[in-house]
Amino acid sequence: MNAVIFPREVYAAIRAHGEETYPHECCGALLGRIVDGVWNVVESVKAGNTRTDSAHNRYQIAPIELVKMEREARQKELDIAGFYHSHPDHPAQWSQTDFAEAHWLGCCYVITEVAQGKAAVTNSFLLAGASEEDKRFEMQAIEVQEER
């Protein structure tokens, strides 16, 4: 099954990040490992939202910030498992902009709806496909695990 696994505290942290930045979007990266073809998220890394033009409906991680995140992941022997962002007062469904700006094939794109300042639905989409030309988002089941 297409799924992504989150530790409870990481899942809570990305939802809390969306509440913190409301009414603006938050964004960040997810670090983890693939185990038997399933992403096991280990931690999340907050990013500053660099899109000041319309931070409520678009997001972007600055390239230099992304390079730092990749280095941090490598040092911890983790990989970039995906990215997350929030949709303030908007459903947790990907937009055309989200799709156009998604380039990490095989990674998870997590979206949390923040309704009136409170985190609501969180969905995850796997960017499937073998190339940029046939990429597509596939909805994933989110499994939240209690702390070991």
C-beta of 129: minimal distance to Zn ion in Å? 19
In this chain, which of 83, 98, 109, 123 binds Zn ion, going by CB under 5 A?
98
C-beta of 109: minimal distance to Zn ion in Å? 9
CB-CB contact of 105 with 128 (8 Å): yes
Rounded to whole angstroms, how far apart are CA atoms 93 and 113?
Answer: 8
Question: How far, CA to CA in Å, does 68 sit from each of 18, 29, 71, 98, 141?
Answer: 22, 11, 5, 22, 29
* Position 65 contacts Zn ion (CB under 5 A): no
Q: Which stretch binds Zn ion (CB under 5 A): 5-13, 14-22, 63-71, 88-96?
A: 88-96
Nearer to Zn ion, 69 or 102 (CB): 102
Nearer to Zn ion, 7 or 88 (CB): 88
DSSP 53: S
C-beta of 138: minimal distance to Zn ion in Å? 16
Nearer to Zn ion, 65 or 98 (CB): 98
Rounded to whole angstroms, how far apart are CA atoms 62 and 48?
Answer: 8
C-beta of 88: minimal distance to Zn ion in Å? 10
The residue assigned the tokens 């964004």 is: 27
Closest to 54 measured CA to CA, from 99, 4, 97:
97
Binding site for Zn ion (CB under 5 A): 95, 98
